[in-house]
Amino acid sequence: MTVMTQIAQGEILKETPSPGGGALNAPAIIAEGAGCHGGRETLREAAKAAGMTETLARYAKDYPVGPHDQPQSMCPAFGSLRVGLRMRRTASVLSGSACCVYGLTFTSHFYGAKRTVGYVPFNSETLVTGKLFEDIREAVFKLADPTKYDAIVVMNLCVPTASGVPLRLLPKAIDGVRIIGIDVPGFGVPTHAEAKDVLAGAMLKFAREEAEHGPVPASRAPRSEKPTVTLLGEVFPADPVQIGAMLEPMGLAAGPVVPTREWRELYGALDCAVVAAIHPFYSASVREFELAGRPIVGSAPVGVEGTAAWLESIGEAFGVPRARVDAAKVNLLPAIKAALAQTPIQGRVTLSGYEGSELLVARLMIESGADVRYVGTACPRTRFSEVDCAWLEARGVNVKFRASLQHDLAALAEYEPDLTIGTTPVVQKAKERGIPALYFTNLISARPLMGVAGAGSLAKVVNAAMSNKGRFDEMRDFFEGVGEGFAAGVWEEQPRDRPEFKAKRRAKMAKPAPEEMGAC
């Protein structure tokens, strides 16, 4: 049997014999609970025993969770994979269980990745003997073609992380191609948002150390003569343009967006006057900017109040004279106010997501007139979310960090909104109840939020959804009871409740289980 090091698109990079004959049979401690639905503690303990204590401790500090704070989210590794796949001249290689890699490549291509996902598979033998590390090493040597790549990113998923596969021992560069090895296990990185930071932070660290040791290539895009503001967090493409226009009267320009789309943009991002932490959860990236001596400002220019406060903060961080800050505000705020007034939102809203921009969206909706009662975010509370959190709480909004699906659904039940914006299961539950609902990721975070373009951009989609309430009621009435309770599932005949079967099963379950005789 052979295994392929590349499964998603394009040519096969390498075919190698599978030493274990194909069937995965990882060591007992891994096999016990190797998955995202269980065995978190087993994997964590295994990782510690395998020498990953320092990495896990860093993640615990960067991405804090309380004892009951693990939000339901997609596989965290998707965040770093997405960042890698969006970069030009960057190869992304996964090391993990085939089922995880299948899910990650599927999701990547569902979200429009146009690049190949590399894969170095393993079995229990290659994992236990250390051959997996040798296979990864061989794969990066084969891939490291400087005419094609600036960097190769290797990502350890849950099982290789728990087994301590030492990516740190990979060469730092091969023929000028940088090799970045990161661990993004579901038991150490809580959300896919934070996994973006794991990779962005690792790349910034590498680029910062390069810049400290000598000259580095200039950015492909022409660089502004003015001091720049690096934007930390993925934003809609029109937002940096809006932000650039806002900063102009203050003698500043918008710099690169981190995560960047190309390696050399990392140098430009580090070489800034101020960093705007638009998304507040980029802890590892913030550490690198702070080591580079850059001041960091939280929140973002959304709505009238948000924009005014953000311009003040940027001005203060860079020492911009007051007259220039005031000029920027006079230039901008009346136009934002007018745009908001032109497209009001009326109705009660609950909102949740895992992108990191939830609090900003809520601010903009409130300034548009919406009655926002609840904002849930899978991301943690950080010093950069404090301003937005305080602004929302002062307006009576229930803000929940590290929100779980249960928190979001409880808010839906408690506030009975006219519209809910949320993740897939929240939207599904809302629609079952006849409440209009919008997907945060696909419909809300794919819109401009900043400045004049952001003001009113949400109103159209939000108002259109709320005006559909009558249709939702009709649909709910029409489907009432279908596929619910005993009728759930696929039936070839008319579904029939069988209370006697349930009683029998309950009685069976109440009896003590027979003793297990051996393991196999």
Residues forming contacts to ligand SF4 in the complex (CB under 6 A) are 35-36, 75, 77, 96-97, 100, 103, 157-158, 185-186
State whether residue 514 is helix, strand or coil: coil
Question: How far apart are CB 28 and ligand SF4 at their closest, in Å?
Answer: 17
Question: How far apart are CB 52 and ligand SF4 at their closest, in Å?
Answer: 14
Residue placing its CB nearer to ligand SF4 in the complex, 35 or 227: 35
Question: How far apart are CB 92 and ligand SF4 at their closest, in Å?
Answer: 14
Residue placing its CB nearer to ligand SF4 in the complex, 154 or 387: 154
Question: What residues have CB less than 8 Å from 269, skipping those under 6 apart?
Answer: 204, 230, 255, 256, 258, 260
Question: How far apart are CB 247 and ligand SF4 at their closest, in Å?
Answer: 39
Residue placing its CB nearer to ligand SF4 in the complex, 97 or 285: 97
Alpha carbons 64 and 61: distance in angstroms, whole number: 6
Question: 166, 23, 36: which is closest to 104 by C-alpha?
Answer: 36
Question: How far apart are CB 37 and ligand SF4 at their closest, in Å?
Answer: 8
Phi, psi (degrees; rounded to nearest 5) at 285: -65, -40
| Beta strand residue intervals within 239-337, DSSP E | 253-258, 274-277, 296-298
Kindly give the residue spans of alpha helices, DSSP state H, lying in 111-191. Answer: 124-129, 131-143, 158-162
Alpha carbons 281 and 232: distance in angstroms, whole number: 10
The CA angle 333-338-342, to the nearest 5 degrees, is 150
Alpha carbons 190 and 379: distance in angstroms, whole number: 8
Question: How far apart are CB 239 and ligand SF4 at their closest, in Å?
Answer: 30
Tokens of 245: 């226009």
Q: What sign does the CA torsion over 30, 153, 444, 468 have? A: negative
Task: Classify strands 173-174 and 177-183 as parallel, antiparallel or unpaired.
Answer: antiparallel
Residue placing its CB nearer to ligand SF4 in the complex, 160 or 298: 160
Question: How far apart are CB 388 and ligand SF4 at their closest, in Å?
Answer: 29
Residue placing its CB nearer to ligand SF4 in the complex, 96 or 255: 96
In our burial notation (b when 16+ CB lie closer than 10 A, e otherwise), range 319-345 reads: ebeeeebebbbeebbeebbebbeebeb
Residue placing its CB nearer to ligand SF4 in the complex, 34 or 177: 34
Residue placing its CB nearer to ligand SF4 in the complex, 153 or 349: 153
Residue placing its CB nearer to ligand SF4 in the complex, 72 or 343: 72
User: What number of helices (H) and strands (E) belong to the chain?
Assistant: 22, 16
CB 447 within 8 A of CB 461: yes
State whether residue 118 is helix, strand or coil: strand
Phi, psi (degrees; rounded to nearest 5) at 282: -85, 65
Which long-range contacts (C-beta less than 8 Å, at least 24 apart) are formed by 135-138?
A: 135/16, 136/93, 136/95, 136/165, 136/167, 136/170, 137/170, 138/14
Question: How far apart are CB 338 and ligand SF4 at their closest, in Å?
Answer: 46
State whether residue 449 is helix, strand or coil: coil
Question: How far apart are CB 74 and ligand SF4 at their closest, in Å?
Answer: 8
**DSSP designation for 296:** E
In our burial notation (b when 16+ CB lie closer than 10 A, e otherwise), range 253-291 reads: bbbbbbbbebbbbbbbbbbbbbbbbbbbbbbbbbbbbee
Residue placing its CB nearer to ligand SF4 in the complex, 36 or 120: 36
Residue placing its CB nearer to ligand SF4 in the complex, 100 or 389: 100
Question: How far apart are CB 99 and ligand SF4 at their closest, in Å?
Answer: 7
Residue placing its CB nearer to ligand SF4 in the complex, 40 or 447: 40
Question: How far apart are CB 159 and ligand SF4 at their closest, in Å?
Answer: 7
Task: Classify strands 15-17 and 2-4 as parallel, antiparallel or unpaired.
Answer: antiparallel
The number of beta carbons lying within 10 Å of the beta carbon of residue 251 is: 15
Residue placing its CB nearer to ligand SF4 in the complex, 26 or 140: 26
Question: How far apart are CB 317 and ligand SF4 at their closest, in Å?
Answer: 37
